[in-house]
Chain A
Amino acid sequence: MASVGTHCRRLCRDLGFLPSLPPALLRLTIATSSSGRKPSLHRSQEDFGASDSSSPAWSHRVGPGSPGQAPLLLYLQQRLPPVGPAAFTFVINVVTPAPGHGGKDEVNEEVEPVNMEVMGHPEIYPLVLTTKTQEIFNCRVDEDVTDDQPYKLIKKEDIFEDFKNRGAISDFHPVKKVIQEYPGDEILLVYDKDFKYGLNFYVIGTEEGKENYLNPPEVLEDQEEYKEYSSEEVYIYKAPVSKPWISLGSEKEIEEESVNEATKQTTYMISRKRRKFGAPIKFSDHNASSIKDAYIECTAYPDKNFTLQQVEKDVGMQVIPQIKDRGTQTRWTYPKNATTQYYPREFSEEEKEAVGQSKPFADFFDNVSVGVEIALQQNEIMNTFIDDWKCLAEEEGTFVDKTDTQLKEYQSFTDLHSPMEKMITCVAWHPTIYGLIAVSVAVRLSFEDRVLNSGKLLLQPSLILLWSFSDPIHPQLMLEGPDDIFCFQFCPSDPNIIAGGCINGQIVMWDITAHADRIENIKSGGGRSKKPILKPMFLLEPDSNKEATYIRHCAVSSIENGHRKVITDIHWLADTFEINRMGAVFENRNGICCQLVTCSADCTVCFWDIRPQKALLPQTAEKKKEEVIEIPFDVPSTFLHLDLSWKPLAKVRLSKGETSVDHCPTKISLNESHISQTPDHMVAQDRAGKMEEINPYQNLEGGMAGHLKPIDEFCTKFFVGTEEGEVIYTDWKLERDPETGRLMSKKPVSMHTVHDGAVHTIQRSPFYNDIILTIGGWNVAIWKENVMTGPLLQSCCAPKRYTSGHWSLTRPAVFYVGREDGYIDIWDLLEKTHEPSLSQNICITMITGIKPWPSSSKQQLLAIADHFGTLHILEIPWTLSHPSSNEVSSVQYYFQREVKHLEYVAQRKVIRDKEIKQINMEKERKRSKTYQKSKEQIEAGLKLDYEQYLDLEKTTLISLGLLKISERRSFIDML
């Protein structure tokens, strides 16, 4: 190759042009061919000067190539920039003669066209067109053929023409064969600006190549267009339109896919005789070889007939919407206890002061106070919002005629079974159960008769009868006592505990817990039949279980240590406090009533504790054990520890002071300010006790044990009514006699004799704790605690003796008084204070007990017991049971007025005493004066001055307190 390059340069030097032409500017294009021709170099005649035309100026062999060397067809092209006066181009062609031409000089005939098969375009034949040729064919570079239109269609005849004109020097000569064979008329000549195929032009040798070149595949163009278009297009949804189905053969595929049963099904029926079913089968061991066909072996083997290979597989696919399972859960945390507290914002004193003194505050207050004052006064003048209609209705009464003030008989009970004539001594309603009332009965005999008949009486049981509204004939329970009971009371903490006082001075305890169900069932029965009295007798008779049962007492006090005479009154102490031997008051730890107070005709008031005493002697314990054996089974053991050994906790003698005779109490009334128990509360307690199934009285702790909390400001004073009609206000606290050191009861705080007979009622008002009603003999008195100058009210003597009385439980101004002639006096303090507002006959004999009971908000009952042993239940009329709107305050006001009146009277008394003294003095003086004057008139004048002097002296001395009046009299007498 290098030799070719040097040759070319030498050639150029020989030609006389540009001897120092750099080789870089020489462009050599070498095409190899298989034949071993020597390349020949031709020079265009026109190119190298017009002077030597028609024949080649020179022809030179490029060099003898080595014999085995591939012959070269070398085109040497050199394009030079215009140098010197004329610009021209010359091309050096190295022409190898076409094979098969042998040594012929006719080179042009032998030229084999060179296509660009190497580059994948066999139809392209590169060739060089000189400027002259370009002019002939109108394809001058940059003028006719440009970058935009790099091709030219040349007619075949024109090229043939050129062949004829120029012969072998025609630029088309190398491709002459191609042109001759070309099927079309026009040949495409393309300007190869970038020398892609090595030369400045090329012709396309086939018709398809020409077509492809002129019309490049449209796909590309389309794609480009599409790209441009899609980038700008906004997608618009077009609903698919259903088109008629056109069969394209898919139904055949489906048919092929579906499976059809091709073979016919075969049915077999196998039958067996009926008796062969279920026949017993006996299995035994055999030698497999001993019997024929006993052993058949079925070994597994591959069956050649059924070796199937999976050739085809049908796989179905379906698109389904994506499904996702999600869950969420709040995080669990430990619960935490949290508290918050706030306190009110407050100003300090200084801040308050500062605000209080500020001007705006004062202004505000000035402004506002006027309006407020007006409003306040408006209210004072008249209650604007009072409902007149409502008040009117209240005045008129709702559904009951106001004039109806009579007590109406509701029911009555008489004990028909007792052979002896009995009287009722005490009445008490059951605290919780509706329609259950207890009465204590005693033989109606005088003391002498009683002593005479004592033998007979022992055979008779002494009873408390429990009556129910549901059965007016038979008592529900009969509580048996050792002797006639004169007073009893249900325990406020547990209505199943009853304490009673006997005529012989013993205290009796009953526990009816075991029978509680029975009496409660009666209660429900009573609730069902509203008017049990209307029930025919024969219906009631068969109820044998209603036959009263005797309930033995479970404890009695010791005969030696208790009262010696009839017990006239018994009270449970409130569950809030308890007292000790000294009468000092302590807090009650048990929370239940466990102490009693009794008064008796033996002039003592005793306190009892139902809890077992700690200091029990072993002997007594043994003794008790013996008793345990003795007692019948049906007696509850609640108060076993007390039986026959019960001693009073404290004993208070009601001494009259100087005289040896003591007061004989009949009734007592303790300050019950600590008793604020409502029946509801009691019921609740009762229920609670039942639910726990533990009777608190069953396991009482030893009393007085441990340290007790004293209650200091407790009022230990109480009222006592005596047989002589005195009302004593005294203290139960014992004090030590300073001389002997013995315990003495205190002297009474006050004592008044207002009643002219034994006091049988002494009772605190249910509305005012300090108002006490006392009834005794023929009159009634009302007292106020701490006002001890006298009773607030003392009625004048009634025509008949009063025998009992009770406050109304719902009207503070009303109380009922029973008389010995069977009349009931109803006092209404708001109506009259000098006489009862109403009197009504109940029975023919003495009324021994009165107990009201509010059974419901609409119904109030009054139990009246008489001397003949009949218990009358009466209904209290509406007017007597319903208080007027502000009765409590008006009655209170009345009592306050009375207190003021008493004070005034007391003051008047002092004044009157003074006045009386003065009057007496005056009288005395007058008497002495007349006496002296009558005696001696002569001396009178003389003495008068002296008398006057003496008088003056005396009065001065008296007023100075140095002389007493009595002395004066004696002095005058002396004179």
Chain B
Amino acid sequence: MAEVEETLKQLQSQKGMQGIILVNTEGIPLKSTTDDPTTTQYANLMHNFILKAQSTMREIDPQNDITFLRIRSKKNEIMVAPDKDYFLIVIQNPTE
């Protein structure tokens, strides 16, 4: 747990960091650095999105799998690192 906290802190210290959310495969947030409504919203929406992305990749090539997803928007960038059991969602404002 301490290690996790350490890593979280390290990520948190990155420039333009807006939030880090850890979500399980069911879309339930486990850890978050943002407020509750934002967390719930991101967790739910990104969960749907990443599942769709995953299924898309597997549809194209069943051997393939998604490893990292970066969504660049006008205001920020959302990075999702999916794994078997959990997703890590990071929101960064790169131009800050």
Show the binding face of A for B, using Cβ within 8 Å. Answer: 344-347, 352, 355-357, 360-362, 364-369, 371-373, 375-377, 379-380, 383, 385
A373:B83 contact, CB within 8 angstroms = no
Q: Which residues of B contact A362 (CB under 8 A)?
A: 1, 3-4
Q: Which residues of A contact B4 (CB under 8 A)?
A: 356, 361-362, 365
B88:A356 contact, CB within 8 angstroms = no
Closest 10 interchain pairs by CB? Answer: A379-B94, A368-B81, A376-B14, A344-B40, A380-B15, A364-B83, A369-B7, A364-B86, A368-B88, A357-B1
Count the B residues whose beta carbon is within 8 Å of the partner chain — how many? Answer: 37
Show the binding face of B for A, using Cβ within 8 Å. Answer: 1, 3-4, 7, 10-11, 14-17, 22, 24, 26-31, 40, 43-44, 67-68, 70, 72, 77, 79, 81, 83-86, 88, 90, 92, 94-95
Q: State the CA gap A385–B76 with chains docked (Å).
A: 12
- Contacts A365-B4, A369-B11, A380-B16: A346 and B83 contacting too (C-beta < 8 A)? no
A356:B79 contact, CB within 8 angstroms = no
A383:B94 contact, CB within 8 angstroms = yes
Main secondary structure of the interface of A (DSSP, over half): helix
Q: State the CA gap A357–B81 with chains docked (Å).
A: 19
B24:A380 contact, CB within 8 angstroms = no
- Contacts A364-B86, A373-B10: A380 and B81 contacting too (C-beta < 8 A)? no
A344:B44 contact, CB within 8 angstroms = yes
How far is the CB of A890 from the nearest CB of chain B, in Å? Answer: 13
B95:A383 contact, CB within 8 angstroms = yes
Partner of B14, one of A355, A380, A385: A380
B26:A345 contact, CB within 8 angstroms = yes
A379:B10 contact, CB within 8 angstroms = no
Q: State the CA gap A321–B23 with chains docked (Å).
A: 70
A371:B68 contact, CB within 8 angstroms = yes
Q: Which residues of B contact A361 (CB under 8 A)?
A: 4, 22, 30, 85-86
Q: Which residues of A contact B95 (CB under 8 A)?
A: 383
A376:B26 contact, CB within 8 angstroms = no
Q: Which residues of B contact A368 (CB under 8 A)?
A: 81, 83, 88
- Contacts A360-B85, A365-B88: A376 and B11 contacting too (C-beta < 8 A)? yes
B29:A375 contact, CB within 8 angstroms = no
How far is the CB of A921 from the nearest CB of chain B, in Å? Answer: 48
Q: List 22 A-B contacts (CB under 8 A).
A: A344-B43, A345-B26, A345-B27, A356-B1, A357-B1, A361-B85, A361-B86, A364-B86, A366-B7, A367-B83, A368-B83, A369-B10, A371-B67, A371-B81, A372-B11, A372-B88, A373-B10, A373-B11, A373-B14, A376-B79, A380-B15, A380-B16
Interface centre among B17, B27, B86 (most CB of A within 10 A): B86
Taking A361-B86, A371-B67, A376-B11 as known contacts, 17 extra A-B pairs with beta carbons closer than 8 A to each other, sorted by chain A number, are A344-B28, A344-B44, A352-B30, A355-B24, A356-B30, A357-B1, A365-B3, A365-B4, A368-B83, A368-B88, A369-B81, A372-B11, A372-B90, A377-B14, A379-B15, A379-B16, A380-B16
B92:A376 contact, CB within 8 angstroms = yes
Q: State the CA gap A925–B39 with chains docked (Å).
A: 69
Partner of B31, one of A356, A375, A377, A379: A356
Q: State the CA gap A385–B92 with chains docked (Å).
A: 14
Q: Which residues of B contact A371 (CB under 8 A)?
A: 67-68, 81
Chain A: which residue is nearest B14 at the CB level? A376
Q: Which residues of B contact A383 (CB under 8 A)?
A: 94-95
Q: State the CA gap A373–B10 with chains docked (Å).
A: 9
Q: State the CA gap A805–B86 with chains docked (Å).
A: 59
A372:B81 contact, CB within 8 angstroms = yes
Q: State the CA gap A362–B83 with chains docked (Å).
A: 12
Chain A: which residue is nearest B67 at the CB level? A371
How far is the CB of B94 from the nearest CB of chain A, in Å? Answer: 4
B68:A345 contact, CB within 8 angstroms = no
Q: Which residues of B contact A357 (CB under 8 A)?
A: 1
Q: Which residues of A contact B72 (CB under 8 A)?
A: 385
Chain A: which residue is nearest B24 at the CB level? A355
Q: State the CA gap A261–B39 with chains docked (Å).
A: 100
How far is the CB of A481 from the nearest CB of chain B, in Å? Answer: 51
Q: Which residues of A contact B15 (CB under 8 A)?
A: 376, 379-380
Interface centre among B15, B17, B81, B90 (most CB of A within 10 A): B81
Q: State the CA gap A345–B44 with chains docked (Å).
A: 10
Q: Which residues of A contact B83 (CB under 8 A)?
A: 364, 367-368
B1:A347 contact, CB within 8 angstroms = no
How far is the CB of B46 from the nearest CB of chain A, in Å? Answer: 13
